[in-house]
Structure 1
Amino acid sequence: MRITRVLSTTLLMLGQAVAPAVADTSPSPSASEDGGAPTQAGTSFRTATEIGQGQTATASASTGDYLYWSFPADAGRRPTVKATVKLPDTHAAETWQIDVYDGLRRRQACQYAAQTRTAAANASTVELACVLRTVRGWSEPWANDPLPGTYYIRLSVVDVPTSDLGLPVGAEVRVDSKDIGGSAAVDGALAEPLVPGVAVKSQDDEEDSSASAVLSGIEPEDGWASGWWSDRWVWTAIGGALAALAGVGGYTLTRGPGRPSRVPPGA
């Protein structure tokens, strides 16, 4: 009976500890307003337009242009990139594609979703999506695993008749991510996130030799390396506590009722 009370009390205390921990690892709500969302896209990796997760970025371009955006992704998250291309009223069949690259400009494969789609002639829009693999905190140098840092989105048309080149199009891009939790945790972490390149600086800044390089300004809302904590720690603690209680309970049951260890002299 005593073992049962101790077990119940311990589980209650662990449950109260788990609740705030799980709440802390849940993704923060996306911004409801996109007043500060970008309205243009870059034309290369170096000039990629920075967007935050939960923002819907828009851009106007011409068929045949390469459009680039960049966003931050931290360990333990599974990003999802969605793009919508608004096509002109009259056009032939066109095939559009989104590609996602990590901070080392390595192309990352999509787990699922339609990253390439063909729009029928005179279709008004075409929708694309790419669900990436879960971002890892650490990886072997030879592996192509997604790592924390800046990611690049490239939207382009890969099959279009020459007659349609230059026609105006509109693009919308949005990035969201899901917190995968302890199942994606690894025993290691990068010293620094993969945030490459130097931000474009004005001519005055370039002439100032004392000015230091400015890295990309985008990062997760709670900062880099926010994924060091995972629910794996919680379940490890629960498993350890249950194992200790099981050991105490087993010892108590096998020992039997209390009795003197030896018979007193003269008994």
Structure 2
Amino acid sequence: MRRTRLLTGVLLGAATALLALAGPVAADDDTSGKAPTEAGTSFRTAAQMQQDQKATASASTGDYLYWSYPADAGQRPTVRATVDLSTAQARHGAQTWRIDVYDGLRRRQSCMYGMQARTVPAEAKSVDLACTLRPVRAWSEAWANDPLPGTYYVRLTVTSLADADLGQPVSASVEAQSKDLGSSAAVDGKLSTPLVPGTTASAEKAAPADGWSSGWWTGRWVWTAAGAVLAALAGIGGYALTRGSGRPVGAP
């Protein structure tokens, strides 16, 4: 009986530790490296940034501005952009600004919510935009348009304005942040490599600060192990309850 109690205590301790690991892992706050202070003008020249960095750029109204950032499985990224219009001369009419987010295959990703496009009057000093993507999945069917681990591109531009306002100076800032969804976003399967355009070296260069997880470790592993431990505990408990005094059934 003493040995049974000891084994039960060990298994209970292991189960507690496994369940504690089942929660979302805290995001790495390492944002080493300076945020870019300019933007690219195409997908190929997009300025690279890490999540939680605020990238900035000076441009002219009408330019297409591009940035890129990495997103990994289990994350739900939100991209925010602010366009400062205060340095421009008196404008002649309203302007409509818009951000679009594309994955590593340059497929435009829809926003779950957020003000992706906004029209501001001529006297406005700034415009704020936001786009929250669907959760990034570790794997998906080839025909699906689900967000997958890899590089994501942000494009910022004005889509409507008075002709006389074309070319006026503006400044912009862009930031990407993610909520870690943990095992709630886990799926079976994983990509062989993240969707990062270019070579393997490009994938390493564009990786998150803490590297690519590619979805190989999820909360499902923890819950499976915890279930096995709890099943063992149930077996031990059932044996201890039914063993009785150890004498055969019906013995005097």
Q: TM-score interval w.r.t. the shorter chain? A: 0.7 to 0.9
Look up the match of 2:234: 246
Which residue of 57, 60, 65 maps to 2:58?
A: 60
Look up the match of 2:43: 45
Correspondence list, 1:8-23, <5 A: 9-19=10-20, 22=23
**Whole-angstrom distance in 2 between the partners of 1:255 and 1:121:** 84
Do the aligned partners of 2:140 and 2:148 also contact (CA within 8 Å) in 1?
yes
Higher relative contact order (CA 8 A, sep 6+): 2
Give, as a single letter, the amino acid of the residue that structure 2 aligns with 1:98: I
> What is the TM-score with the length of structure 2 in the denominator?
0.86
Structure 1 residues 139 and 117, CA gap change in structure 2 (3 angstroms): same
Look up the match of 1:129: 130
Residues 122-160 of structure 1, C-alpha deviation per residue, up to 9 Å, x if partnerless? 111100111111111111000001111111000011121
Do the aligned partners of 2:190 and 2:214 also contact (CA within 8 Å) in 1?
no
**Whole-angstrom distance in 2 between the partners of 1:161 and 1:176:** 33
Q: CA deviation at 1:233?
A: 1.7
Give, as a single letter, the amino acid of the residue that structure 2 aligns with 1:215: S
Structure 1 residues 161 and 4, CA gap change in structure 2 (3 angstroms): farther
Give, as a single letter, the amino acid of the residue that structure 1 aligns with 2:167: G
Residues 179-220 of structure 1, C-alpha deviation per residue, up to 9 Å, x if partnerless? 11111111111111111147xxxxxxxxxxxxxx96362211
Look up the match of 1:27: 27
Give, as a single letter, the amino acid of the residue that structure 2 aligns with 1:68: Y
**Whole-angstrom distance in 2 between the partners of 1:12 and 1:120:** 62
Look up the match of 1:150: 151
Correspondence list, 1:186-265, <5 A: 186-197=187-198, 215=202, 217-225=205-213, 227-254=215-242, 256-261=244-249
- For the residue of structure 1 that corresponds to 2:202, the secondary structure is coil
Q: Percent of counterpart pairs with the same letter?
A: 59
**Whole-angstrom distance in 1 between the partners of 2:124 and 2:174:** 19
Look up the match of 2:184: 183
Do the aligned partners of 1:89 and 1:123 also contact (CA within 8 Å) in 2?
no
Q: CA deviation at 1:29?
A: 1.4
Matched, 1:160 2:161: yes
Residues 100-130 of structure 1, C-alpha deviation per residue, up to 9 Å, x if partnerless? 0000000001111111111122111100111
- For the residue of structure 2 that corresponds to 1:228, the secondary structure is coil
Q: How many residues align?
A: 247
- For the residue of structure 2 that corresponds to 1:14, the secondary structure is helix
> What is the TM-score with the length of structure 1 in the denominator?
0.82
**Whole-angstrom distance in 2 between the partners of 1:89 and 1:13:** 66
Structure 1 residues 147 and 224, CA gap change in structure 2 (3 angstroms): same
Structure 1 residues 164 and 252, CA gap change in structure 2 (3 angstroms): same
**Whole-angstrom distance in 1 between the partners of 2:177 and 2:5:** 45
Structure 1 residues 161 and 78, CA gap change in structure 2 (3 angstroms): same
Look up the match of 1:120: 121
- For the residue of structure 1 that corresponds to 2:184, the secondary structure is helix
Q: Which moved more, 1:244-253 or 1:160-169?
A: 244-253
Q: Which runs of 5+ in 2 are unaligned?
A: none
**Whole-angstrom distance in 2 between the partners of 1:17 and 1:239:** 10
